[in-house]
Amino acid sequence: MGKVMTHMTMSLDGFIATPDDQVDELFDWYQAGEVAVEHANEDLDDFKVDQASADVLQDLIGRAGALVAGRHLFDIANGWGDAHPTGARVVVVTHEPPADGAERWPRTTFVDGVEAAVAAAKELAGDDDVTIASANVIQQALDLGLVDEIAVSLVPVLFGAGKPYFGRLADGHLLLEDPVVVQGRRALHLRFKVRA
């Protein structure tokens, strides 16, 4: 069975978007190199990154069996056109699924509650990983003890304000193992196993 992990690109001061949901320079690293990384969404250009970042992306994409997202991110991304770049099935945490959800997004599952969403994603992923990619859902999953590993692509920009990757933890703090660090162009990729 795969692991449950988080991954988001974050500004140096801890934000994953501006206050009005713009990502501005956060994803400049996706076009900061010469190595093409293909993905499953035909509406997007291939990522062109340096070799180190390509290795990170290929690992994340290659191991992704399911992705858990919050309804807010899903709506902003317009459901990724029912083709998330990882190629993984998407599970959306929402109290109110869209009325046309099954018809418009047949590869997307809508679930009420983070714990149920992670369980559904694990079933869909089989032996592959489940990746959580929404800050609020990540926070709830951390509080529930559902996360095995935290991944951050840290980029050299300061937002000053915005939507944070992490918030206050229910138990006050969470211990992590030493990081795995990969230096990429325009991004420092960090992975931390959650200490049991």
User: In three state form, how does the secondary structure of the chain look?
Assistant: CCCEEEEEEEECCCEEECCCCCCHHHHHHHHCCCEEECCCCCCCCCEEECHHHHHHHHHHHHHEEEEEEEHHHHHHCHHHHHCCCCCCEEEEECCCCCCCHHHHCCCEEEECCHHHHHHHHHHHHCCCEEEECCHHHHHHHHHCCCCCEEEEEEECCCCCCCEECCCCCCCCCCCECCCEEEEECCEEEEEEEECC
Full domain range(s) for residue 170: 4-188
Taking only the tens place, the pLDDT of each residue in 117-166 is: 999 999 999 999 999 999 999 999 999 999 999 999 999 999 999 999 99
> Is residue 111 situated within a structural domain?
yes
Give the residue from 3, 129, 14 showing the smallest Cα distance to 66. Answer: 129
Evaluate whether 9 touches 153 at the Cβ level (below 8 Å): yes
Cα separation, 173 vs 170, whole angstroms = 8
Domain with residue 127: its CATH number is 3.40.430.10
Number of domains in the chain: 1
- The pLDDT tens digits for 37-88 are 887 777 777 889 999 999 999 999 889 999 999 999 999 999 898 888 888 9
Confidence band, pLDDT 50/70/90 cuts, at residue 196: confident
